[in-house]
A and B are shown apart, each in its own frame.
Chain A
């Protein structure tokens, strides 16, 4: 209904008409990180695939790599494809994606596969995926859509907070039931970021923050496994063979790297010491093999990607595109930062994968689709990058120059 109303909007039509080439730096950063990540999956997974303790790979050392490579190639196609979808079309599906993600969150509780005591995965036969991955992007798309709709009422509670809070609460509840706290935290944070970008009153964030902190404290106090995580975070070496094992092994890997690293493929910690070495702790292997220099370069690439993402969003002349671009970038940033922070023991251990690096086909495809959306936004940018970084100022300047 609202969409049909916007159609006659000349600005949008024009924007669509002037779609230009996708943002090359963002594309290059994405592909560079994707390829680097692929190489690191090969290196990190080689040993565990060879030893095949879980009986999954049939001792095929390139088992994980070859699968990830297929998804990476498909991912590039997905990125290019999504970069061609006009954002107006994306916006039309916002609600549908949200609905699908809530349904799949419900489905996972019913038919999901239990891994390590948590029901997070849906087995599709040919692959498995986590509905929470869909939920993240769904929240971004749907919240962007809503924020655009309530554009002038965003500073009110009724429109600016309440519907979003309800949706977030519902989704978070479904995730806690799995349980999947890390996803819940990320989704809540993304939701908050969307509202922040959407212009909601800052006061609400203080309140929401208080609620979250209380919730976190309660979780630490009441949920045993959260409490254990926090305890082992505070002093991983107190029980290096037990709860502290993961983080201690990660610190060994990172510390072993030193300045220049042990060399690509030379990680020792990947030899069954470091758990999830091609997954949540792949960055520890990066640090061990490539050293501080290599890890810093990769962090810099990620940082550039994030900065570029925000710039793409900012340069978008369209509110929806701005919100989706800002949301996706924030989500990427959040996952990168949290993953590295876990590996380096800055925050308690939690299962967050590293975008473009961690093994996992569905997640990678979704990330590549998100990158495609970022490129699509860049193609609709009204402002060329070299000219300005602050569109509003350009506006002002043109005003001043008119007389």
Chain B
């Protein structure tokens, strides 16, 4: 017991146990409960609040996919550039010289020093963008500057910029991207998801002063996945020819409101080329054409000017081939022809009589043919050659409103609606932004059994609006055996490593007409072009190729209603070879000027353009020309080298080649010749041989040739020791064939022997009129 005499008493021990319970157990349970509350119950809330202060996301831009044409030529490609930005907070923390930074960057980037100072002064910010899309070279200079003065406050991060190697070529189809590399127009917009890829990111932790955490395990690195590449159906060679000829035509005919052209593979619906003028440089898509710029600069009022500038941009970005609807006019007669043949309403040999006008039930006044004198008795083929409105109205009436309506729907001009009173619309679904819908009569109006005026007008392409793309798609169906194809622009998509991801298979929407009908159409339409006597489309003739086609001239009705001068859209749709079409070409020009002196009609203006385009394009498509004897006679040809030959031998050689000869001088051997050997000149050209003398070297003044016949122009030039070749072909050296344009302006100086290139057209005043 004595051992416990100094031991703690029971009260003390009880109190110790109490303290043990409170301090050793209860308190810890309370603490654990509080931890549970914070770590489990409020975990999400607190963690996200913590991450909000800890995380910094750096985006790794994904390389945007490349756009190629069908041959693999690069149409749009991204290159690495850099975004330069400042980290004013770091400048402040590190005590870096903001003045030095501002003046350095101002010099390297050509920016305002004060503005940079302002950016650098925002001490709370970690990110102030200075300039985006800085080219690699400049970026390197900035890095050097940064290194030299050890400036942590200047930052560069990779970025990309879009380049368009062909500038304005196919601008409306390719489209463009904004500064943030998202597609804004064209395929860049339509295929944006495919091209964009997925940007990667680095989610880094930063410490409270903003630099990266060291050894932080939490670093989320998501690789950027580069965008896929898109191969378009466009062929940049064909596109180039289309644009070249369109641009020339716009100049030649002084076209006021631009032009559009489409080349389509009729068998697949693939768009081989699509152009809209005036165009723009994709690399500077904001920039308007110089002439427009001048007009804009002339506007005094700034608000008015900026509104006009916006309008000018929207105009140049507008893809007329798909965005502008128009009355197709006579080109639509192909469709009426197709349904008439298919329905048995006519055969190629059916006969029609055109007295210049006819009456139509429900139409107040008589329906006039464009040729007021009338076309007289004609077969169906002749009616198409003549583009006779009366014959086609008759065909339409024979087909009947219900059938006509159904065919138009089947050809894709509109989609039927449940509501018979709803006006109708439709589009091809080509997959380009900005495709407009057609404007069609409601079913009730069009199919009114009491009133055939709509039916009659529609039979020759009036009183409704469609897009050029819809027309070429429907005409493709007429010539390809009857299948309406869905037009498309994307041939295939490959990932960034070049692996094929998908390929567009041609889509048959439906068969509209039979193969036999299609063949009949091809035969008839070929006659429109190849019949140099009666075909309204004869100016589209291409030697060596069987071209079929149809003219169109549309009055701009809205313009008429507004009481202004009559304005026209002239167009031509042609395809070749007629027996097995490889390409369909539609060209339309909006409002050619009357000042050229050429009669405004599709046959006079648009047909030669299509002819030239086809003559450029067909060899590219592997279609070899096969000339007839008649064609050979009028082909341009090369002058053989006869210099050094005896005179007699030279004469024979030239005669064999189809040239006539004029000799200057008294010698026996040819000492010189004009044109020089190898020059391509018109058939029947007189070659000047110099025997003992040499050709003069005095420059000559180019004479005006417009309006002269082919032979007259040749003689006029010969008198000046100048020569001639033609950019399009003719079948006969008749008085109707006249020079429309020449490549060297009248008054220009040209050395003797120069070969002038002229555009000929078959000026048949018989066919003046809206057809």
- Which of B38-46, B610-618, B742-750 lies at the interface with chain A? B38-46
With contacts A253-B50, A319-B6 taken as known, whether A196 is within 8 angstroms of B218 at the C-beta atoms is no
Interface: A266 (CB within 8 A): yes
A295 touches which of B11, B39, B206 (Cβ 8 Å): B39
CA distance A302 to B35 in the complex (A): 15
Q: Does A163 contact B (CB under 8 A)?
A: no
Chain A CB within 8 A of B47 CB: yes
* B4→A266 contact, CB < 8 A: no
Q: Which of B171-224 contact A (CB under 8 A)?
A: 205-209, 213-218
A residues less than 8 Å from B23 (CB atoms)? 306, 310, 329-330, 333-334, 337
CB distance from A291 to the nearest CB of B (A): 7
From 291 to 322 in chain A, residues with beta carbon under 8 angstroms from any chain B beta carbon are: 291-292, 295-296, 299-300, 302-303, 306-307, 309-311, 313-314, 316-320, 322
Establish whether residues B39 and A314, one from each chain, have CB atoms under 8 Å apart when the complex forms.
no
Q: Which residue of A lies closest to B208 (CB)?
A: A272
Instruction: Point out the residues of chain B lying under 8 angstroms from A334, CB to CB.
Output: 23
| Stretch touching chain A among B24-32, B61-69, B104-112 | B24-32
Q: For B42, what are the chain A residues with a Cβ–Cβ distance below 8 Å?
A: 251, 255
Residues of A within 8 A of B215 (CB): 46, 265
- Picked from B6, B13, B53, the residue with its CB within 8 Å of the CB of A252 is B53
Across the interface, A314 reaches (CB within 8 A) one of B2, B16, B30, namely: B16
Find chain B residues with CB under 8 A from A387 CB.
Answer: none
A295 to B40, CA, bound (A): 12
**Cα distance A292–B43 in the bound complex, in angstroms:** 10
Question: Interface readout for A23-40 with B: 1 if CB under 8 Å, 0 if not?
Answer: 000000000000000000
A14 to B50, CA, bound (A): 60
Question: Nearest chain A CB to B39's CB is how many angstroms away?
Answer: 4
Q: Which residues of chain A come closer than 8 Å to B213, judged between CB atoms? A: 47, 268, 271
Chain B residue numbers with a CB within 8 Å of A302 are: 28
Question: In the docked arrangement, what's the CA distance between A12 and B2, Å?
Answer: 9
Chain B CB within 10 A, most for which of A11, A256, A295: A256
Min distance, Cβ A380 to any Cβ of chain B, angstroms? 12
Within B303-319, the residues touching A (CB, 8 Å) are: none
Query: Are B16 and A268 in contact, CB atoms less than 8 angstroms apart?
Result: no
Known contacts A272-B209, A299-B35; is-contact A390 B13 (Cβ 8 Å): yes
* Pair A391/B27 contact, Cβ less than 8 Å: no
Assess the B3–A337 pair: CB atoms within 8 A. no
Spot the interface stretch: A93-101, A108-116, A214-222, A339-347. Answer: A339-347
B627 at the interface (CB under 8 A from A): no
A106 interface residue (CB < 8 Å to B)? no
Q: Which residues of B contact A251 (CB under 8 A)?
A: 38, 42, 46
Task: Convert A243-286 into 0s and 1s, putting 1 for each residue whose CB lies closer than 8 angstroms to a CB of B.
Answer: 00000000111111111001101101101110000000000000
Q: Judging by beta carbons under 8 Å apart, are A330 and B28 in contact?
A: no
A254 touches B207 (CB 8 A): no
| Interface residue? B8 (CB, 8 A) | yes
The answer to whether B15 and A307 have CB atoms under 8 Å apart is: no
Contact A273-B54, Cβ < 8 Å, known A15-B3, A326-B19, A382-B3:
yes
Whether B19 pairs with A196 at a CB distance below 8 angstroms is yes
B31, A314: Cβ atoms under 8 Å?
no
B27 to A337, Cβ gap below 8 A?
yes
Docked-complex contact B17 and A317, CB < 8 angstroms = no
Given contacts A255-B43, A271-B216, contact A199 B9 (CB under 8 A): yes
Q: How far is the CA of A193 from the CA of B697 in the complex (A)?
A: 126
Q: Give the CA-CA distance A319 to B752 in the complex, in Å.
A: 135
Measured CA separation A10–B3 after assembly (Å): 7
Query: Looking at the complex, which one of B3, B27, B39 makes contact with A317 (CB distance below 8 Å)?
Result: B3
CA distance A254 to B19 in the complex (A): 28
Distance to closest chain A CB from B208 (angstroms): 4
**Nearest Cβ in chain B — how far from A339, in angstroms?**
10
Please tell me if B36 contacts chain A, counting CB pairs below 8 Å. Answer: yes
The answer to whether A258 touches B40 (Cβ under 8 A) is yes
Nearest A residue to B209 by beta-carbon distance?
A272
**A337 touching B209, Cβ below 8 Å:** no
B284 at the interface (CB under 8 A from A): no
**In the complex, A317→B54 CA distance in Å?**
56
Q: A198: CB under 8 A from chain B?
A: yes
> B300 an interface residue at 8 Å Cβ cutoff?
no
Interchain CA distance A253-B17 in the complex, whole Å: 35
Q: How far is the CB of B95 from chain A (nearest CB, A)?
A: 15
Nearest residue, chain A, Cβ from B23: A333
B386, chain A: closest CB distance, angstroms:
85
B298 at the interface (CB under 8 A from A): no
Instruction: Decide if B35 touches A254 in the complex (CB within 8 Å).
Output: yes
Return chain B residues, CB-CB under 8 Å to A258. 39-40, 43, 47
Task: Enumerate chain B residues within 8 angstroms of A273, measured Cβ to Cβ.
Answer: 50, 53-54, 207-208
- Contact yes or no, A14 B3, CB < 8 A: yes
CB-contact partner of B205 in A53, A271, A313, A329, under 8 A = A271
Q: Are A306 and B20 in contact (CB under 8 A)?
A: yes
Q: Which residues of chain A come closer than 8 Å to B46, judged between CB atoms?
A: 251-252, 254-256
Please measure, in the bound complex, the distance between the C-alpha atom of A193 and the C-alpha atom of B23, giving whole angstroms: 11
Point out the residues of chain B lying under 8 angstroms from A314, CB to CB.
8, 13, 16-17, 20
B13 CB contacts on chain A under 8 angstroms: 314, 322, 390-392
Asked if A256 and B50 make an inter-chain contact with CB atoms under 8 angstroms apart, the answer reads yes
The smallest beta-carbon distance between B405 and chain A, in angstroms, is 69
* Contact between chains at A268 and B54 (CB < 8 Å): yes
**Taking the complex as formed, is B561 at the interface, i.e. its CB lies under 8 A from any CB of chain A?**
no
With contacts A265-B215, A337-B23 known, is A326 near B16, CB below 8 A? yes
Closest Cβ neighbor of A260 among chain B residues: B39
B34 within 8 A of A: yes
Are A346 and B6 in contact (CB-based, < 8 A)? no
**Known contacts A259-B39, A292-B39, A322-B7; A272 and B207 CB within 8 A of each other:** yes
Q: Which residues of B contact A257 (CB under 8 A)?
A: 39, 43
* Chain B residues positioned under 8 Å from A268 (CB to CB): 50, 54, 205, 213, 216, 218
Chain B 48-62 interface mask (CB, 8 Å, partner A; 1/0)? 011101100000000
A interface footprint on B445-460 (CB within 8 Å = 1, 0 otherwise): 0000000000000000
B148: CB under 8 A from chain A? no
Determine which of A11, A303, A319 lies in contact with B25 in the assembled complex, contact meaning CB atoms within 8 Å. Answer: A303
Q: Are A9 and B6 in contact (CB under 8 A)?
A: yes
**Smallest beta-carbon distance B16→chain A, Å:** 5
A6 within 8 A of B: yes
Contact among A51, A318, A330 for B7, CB-based, below 8 A: A318
Q: B6: which of A11, A263, A299, A330 is its contact (CB, 8 Å)?
A: A11
Query: How far is it, in angstroms, between the C-alpha of A287 and the C-alpha of B38 when the chains are bound?
Result: 10
Q: Say yes or no for B558: interface residue by CB 8 A criterion.
A: no
B705 to chain A, nearest CB (A): 83
Q: Does B207 lie within 8 Å of A346, measured CB to CB?
A: no
Q: How far is the CA of A291 from the CA of B35 in the complex (A)?
A: 9
Chain B residues whose CB sits within 8 angstroms of the CB of A197 once the complex forms: 12, 15-16, 19
CB contacts under 8 Å to A, within B555-596, are none
Q: How far is the CB of A43 from chain B (nearest CB, A)?
A: 10
Please list 6 pairs of residues, one from A and one from B, whose beta carbons are closer than 8 Å in the complex, sorted by A's number.
A196-B19, A256-B43, A256-B50, A296-B32, A326-B19, A341-B34
Given contacts A255-B46, A326-B16, 18 further A-B contacts (CB under 8 A): A11-B4, A14-B3, A193-B19, A253-B50, A255-B47, A256-B50, A259-B40, A265-B215, A266-B218, A271-B54, A271-B206, A271-B207, A272-B209, A292-B39, A307-B20, A329-B19, A333-B23, A333-B27
- For the complex of A and B, the 6 pairs showing the least CB-CB separation, nearest first, are A255-B46, A310-B20, A333-B23, A271-B207, A252-B50, A11-B3
Residues in B lying within 8 Å of A, measured CB to CB: 2-13, 15-17, 19-20, 23-25, 27-28, 30-32, 34-36, 38-40, 42-43, 45-47, 49-51, 53-54, 205-209, 213-218
